[in-house]
Structure 1
Amino acid sequence: MTRTAPLSVCLVCNTAWAIYTYRQGLIRMLVAQGALVTVLAPRDRTFPLLEKMGCRCIDLPVASKGTNPRHDLGTLWALYRHYRTIKPDVTFHYTIKPNIYGSVAAWLARVPSIAVTTGLGYVFIQQSHAARVAKALYRFAFRFPREVWFLNRDDLAAFLDGRLLAHPKRARLLHGEGVDLEHFAYTPLPNAQHFTFILIGRLLWDKGVREYVEAARTLRARYPHARFQVLGPAGVDNPSAIALEDVRAWQDEGVIEYLGEAHDVRAHIAGADCVVLPSYREGVPRTLMEASAMGRPIVATDVPGCREVVADGATGLLCAAKDAASLAAKLAQMLEMSRDERRAMGERGRAKVTAEFDEVSVVERYRQTLREQTGVSL
């Protein structure tokens, strides 16, 4: 029998901002092929932008902070009801709570699902009761998805070593979610009297913001021409969130320059000499892929995710995690390089991203998976 109804795909995340920021290429492909795309996430400022792209957006209750069972069961119940109503052909779950509760809800509603582990975050950074509970929930919930995607080998190994996958053969390595190389085009380094570092991302302690601030304090006297910028939302709904008051205090001290938020980060990357991400752990950080695509050298931590993007000494410099002194030393090394050395580093970064993280290949992976799961060719 010939199928007449359009393919229906749900994208579920703990923030709509992440869907809009990281998956525009996927959405454009689905919409262009006539698929019905539904985004389920807490309502935020990106709902109108997603709707403009052709998505239907549904407000989803997700309590990113804490582990209140009542709140989490509310998320599971809401997803179950939506899946029973929407009847999607496939749903993709991103981030911890959608991965766990969405996978269970999809199974209960008899909806095929795929879990995408975008980064293990606090679950694999901390040794806490909450982390142990989350691992137990992962172990239960990940028996239900058709496939479980990992963005880097370290995260896949952590799940396999921890026996968190009931069906190891369903694990897939995606190797990052890609970057639009045309949108993030190569841009020459700025030629200004000052030297600008920038940290881009949600302002979380787990992103190494404290270490970045401490390193900036250390370097200001020795390198008065160095500027330390921060771009991204503060006070977000996350256990590791940094309050806006802390950020303003650092700015009042004169140690950093807070740029607020931006839908389009390209002008900020173009204005920087080096992009910094001292994160404790990542999936594969989009910020670093975008920075390398635009030809910027990077300073990041030698942790899962970051070392997928940064070739130490070739496209950037890697420092120890949770170590402000190590970070300061690498920032100083970047400051001491000649402009030509930094330019060559950025050019090698562009070449690496082009070879390994082109969004086109990632979107094709989604296309093939949807064909395998539904029989529909897009």
Structure 2
Amino acid sequence: MKSNVSLRITLVCNTAWAIYTYRQGLIRELVARGVEVTVLAPRDRTFDLLGAMGCRCIDLPVASKGTNPRDDLRTLWALFRRYRSIRPHIVFHYTIKPNIYGSIAAKLAGVDSVAVTTGLGYVFIQQSRAAQVAKKLYRFAFRFPREVWFLNRDDQAAFVDQKLLVHPERARLLHGEGVDLEQFAFTPLPDKPHFDFVLIGRLLWDKGVGEYVEAARRLRARYPQARFRLLGPVGVDNPSAITRDEVAAWEQECVIEYLGEAHDVRPFIAAADCVVLPSYREGVPRTLMEASAMGRPIVATDVPGCREVVADGVNGLLCEVRNAESLAGRLAQMLDMSGAARRAMGERGRQKVAAEFDERVVIEKYKDLVRNLTGVSL
């Protein structure tokens, strides 16, 4: 292919919000190089924001909560039709249903695709029949992508060990999707009478929100200066979603403070003394990379993804998964620490992210793949 041909690249996800939140650096780079970028995802408020960045956005039917085969076939058919009309040179699929049905649709449409496993979610957390079906679907669908990208070694090992990759040689370790170190600049810890913890992300039980609330209940009396905050969307389309009513009950109990959701999380990270993510399993959590980049110490669970970002005792503390008592102990440890010790943790976090998770390195991997598949240098 000649370099003056306008490349068409499509990004597919179960939420446009995730494309906007996690891949702005990639989109900016592609658009600046003259690439026609199309986003396929269920319509939400970020369509306008993505459009302003230069993307074409198309609504996609995806039932993230459901396991109804008819809904999934609808997604498969919609993707096939879109690929036939757009004729993208490469499609990148993110999250489980686009990974599975998008990979199949791209093969049927004669389009090159890459599957990016952004975290294995309920499939590897639960032992349900739906999880077993999902693994069979992964095994079938993942024979088609040109490459399968994993964000952490644990996820890659899980796929290899369970023989879910027909072509294991196509697996690549991306080591997180990176963070923009200029956008998330180092910010000194605030000096104020309250100590603010914040959990940032979609409000899901799988993110350990329940354990966070229970830990807050245990610590309130002993540490009256501590405030426990939540930032992120409620009632999202996910089997593990927490409702607004459940959050309202915690607010009424005065155990947590709900901050709503925000396009720009930087002011909330800057206002925090510690960022918390007691998740059950992650790809490599963007929240923790951003918090570390801004110099915030972290408390997270010792699970795949989180332990990629947090070195226990170095730039944060790790607790046991699904264990509110263990989490409360680590939060108390953070509260009891001197300001100097917390500042040093935050500074080491910034150094770790700069060394391991610079977004520019990730974008270069995308550009290398585009060059290998199309012959076009971006």
Same fold (TM over 0.5): yes
Superposition pairs of residues 18-97 of structure 1, within 5 angstroms? 18-97=18-97
1:81-128 deviations in whole A, cap 9, x for unaligned?
000000000000000000000000000000000000000000000000
Letter in 1 for 2:229: Q
Task: Give 1:227 deviation, angstroms.
Answer: 0.2
Instruction: Supply the distance in 2 between the matched residues of 1:130 and 1:224 (Cα, whole angstroms).
Output: 43
Task: Give the corresponding residue for 1:167.
Answer: 167
Task: Give 1:2 deviation, angstroms.
Answer: 3.7
Task: Give the corresponding residue for 2:301.
Answer: 301
SS in 1 for 2:82: helix
Task: Give 1:4 deviation, angstroms.
Answer: 4.2
SS in 2 for 1:241: coil
Letter in 1 for 2:10: C
Aligned length: 378
Instruction: Supply the distance in 2 between the matched residues of 1:21 and 1:371 (Cα, whole angstroms).
Output: 25
SS in 1 for 2:37: strand
SS in 2 for 1:130: helix
SS in 2 for 1:228: strand
With over 3 angstroms needed to count, the CA separation of the structure-2 counterparts of 1:194 and 1:69, relative to structure 1, is: same
Task: Give the corresponding residue for 2:14.
Answer: 14
Instruction: Supply the distance in 2 between the matched residues of 1:170 and 1:328 (Cα, whole angstroms).
Output: 42
1:101 equivalent to 2:116? Answer no
Task: Give the corresponding residue for 2:156.
Answer: 156
With over 3 angstroms needed to count, the CA separation of the structure-2 counterparts of 1:165 and 1:253, relative to structure 1, is: same
Task: Give the corresponding residue for 2:270.
Answer: 270
Instruction: Supply the distance in 1 between the matched residues of 2:40 and 2:374 (Cα, whole angstroms).
Output: 21
SS in 2 for 1:57: strand
Query: Residue 3 of structure 2 contacts residue 377 of structure 2 at CA under 8 Å; is this kept in 1?
Result: no
Instruction: Supply the distance in 2 between the matched residues of 1:218 and 1:62 (Cα, whole angstroms).
Output: 39
1:181 equivalent to 2:181? Answer yes
1:256-297 deviations in whole A, cap 9, x for unaligned?
000000000000000000000000000000000000000000
SS in 2 for 1:332: helix
Task: Give the corresponding residue for 1:220.
Answer: 220
Identity across aligned pairs (percent)? 77
Listed as ranges, the gaps of 5+ residues in structure 1 are none
Instruction: Supply the distance in 1 between the matched residues of 2:46 and 2:71 (Cα, whole angstroms).
Output: 23
Instruction: Supply the distance in 2 between the matched residues of 1:369 and 1:143 (Cα, whole angstroms).
Output: 18
Instruction: Supply the distance in 2 between the matched residues of 1:273 and 1:129 (Cα, whole angstroms).
Output: 41
Task: Give 1:5 deviation, angstroms.
Answer: 2.9
Superposition pairs of residues 231-310 of structure 1, within 5 angstroms? 231-310=231-310
Instruction: Supply the distance in 1 between the matched residues of 2:162 and 2:233 (Cα, whole angstroms).
Output: 33
Task: Give the corresponding residue for 2:126.
Answer: 126
Task: Give the corresponding residue for 1:112.
Answer: 112
Task: Give the corresponding residue for 2:368.
Answer: 368
TM-align CA RMSD: 0.6
Task: Give the corresponding residue for 2:199.
Answer: 199
Letter in 2 for 1:80: F
With over 3 angstroms needed to count, the CA separation of the structure-2 counterparts of 1:344 and 1:110, relative to structure 1, is: same
1:212-238 deviations in whole A, cap 9, x for unaligned?
000000000000000000000000000
SS in 1 for 2:158: helix
Instruction: Supply the distance in 2 between the matched residues of 1:215 and 1:142 (Cα, whole angstroms).
Output: 40
Task: Give 1:3 deviation, angstroms.
Answer: 5.2
Instruction: Supply the distance in 1 between the matched residues of 2:238 and 2:375 (Cα, whole angstroms).
Output: 38
SS in 2 for 1:340: helix
With over 3 angstroms needed to count, the CA separation of the structure-2 counterparts of 1:340 and 1:3, relative to structure 1, is: closer
Moved over 6 A (4+): none
Letter in 1 for 2:212: Y
Task: Give the corresponding residue for 1:333.
Answer: 333
1:147 equivalent to 2:147? Answer yes
Instruction: Supply the distance in 2 between the matched residues of 1:163 and 1:202 (Cα, whole angstroms).
Output: 31
Instruction: Supply the distance in 2 between the matched residues of 1:164 and 1:213 (Cα, whole angstroms).
Output: 36
Instruction: Supply the distance in 1 between the matched residues of 2:295 and 2:187 (Cα, whole angstroms).
Output: 6
TM-score, scaled to structure 1 = 0.99
Task: Give 1:66 deviation, angstroms.
Answer: 1.6
Query: Residue 2 of structure 2 contacts residue 375 of structure 2 at CA under 8 Å; is this kept in 1?
Result: no
Letter in 1 for 2:318: L
1:129-164 deviations in whole A, cap 9, x for unaligned?
010000000000000000000000000000000000
Query: Residue 198 of structure 2 contacts residue 230 of structure 2 at CA under 8 Å; is this kept in 1?
Result: yes
SS in 2 for 1:54: coil
Listed as ranges, the gaps of 5+ residues in structure 2 are none
1:8-51 deviations in whole A, cap 9, x for unaligned?
00000000000000000100110000000000000000000000
With over 3 angstroms needed to count, the CA separation of the structure-2 counterparts of 1:72 and 1:180, relative to structure 1, is: same
